[in-house]
Amino acid sequence: MATENKNLSDYDKTTIPNANKFRFGIVVSEWNHDITENLFKGAYNTLLEHGVLAGNIVRWNVPGSFELIYGCKKMQEQMVNAVIAVGSVIKGETKHFDFICDSVAHGIKDLNVTGETPVVFCVLTDNTKQQAIDRSGGKHGNKGTEAAIAAIKMAELRKNS
């Protein structure tokens, strides 16, 4: 596993730009709410830690991970510097997992290719609930933290390009 020997919450704080002038959107899937809420908290707290004002963090909820694409597309229109897509898809007994994971990954990619506002992929695609717990604040850290750092870096890149 990619996160087996890495803590998703570990990073060098000295390399992160001050984000106090940026505004971020976070679109959160309601499916697997306990997981996505932990991912949101990781992202939200990390943004605050790097100078983002609470009033400059806009949160929208959508029903599931598939709906993240539309939510992020609309969030790109809200004068934000970057968007974070937060979701959790846990494999079941059918191919639904594959269709959702592929669609969401391609949809977020398409938003990045066609839009001016970067969208960061913070969607866990795990085989088990325990793997999702481990990556949303458990033993492997919090993917939400990692996504917030990516969003800050992408907002800075957008500002400087």
DSSP class of residue 10? Answer: -
Q: With H, G, I as helix, E, B as strand and everything else as coil, classify residue 13.
A: helix
Amino acid (one-letter) located at 11? Y
Helix, strand, coil percentages, rounded to 5, for the chain: 45, 20, 35
Backbone angles phi, psi at 21, to 5 degrees: -100, 0
- Contacts of residue 39, defined as CB under 8 A and 6 or more positions apart, other chains included, come to 28, 86, 88, 122, 124, 136, 142, 143, 144, 147
- Of 33, 50, 96, 106, the active-site residue reads 96
Residue 96 among the catalytic residues: yes
Q: Edge to edge, what strands does the sheet with 82-90 contain?
A: 57-62, 24-29, 82-90, 119-126
Question: Which residues are tagged catalytic?
Answer: 96
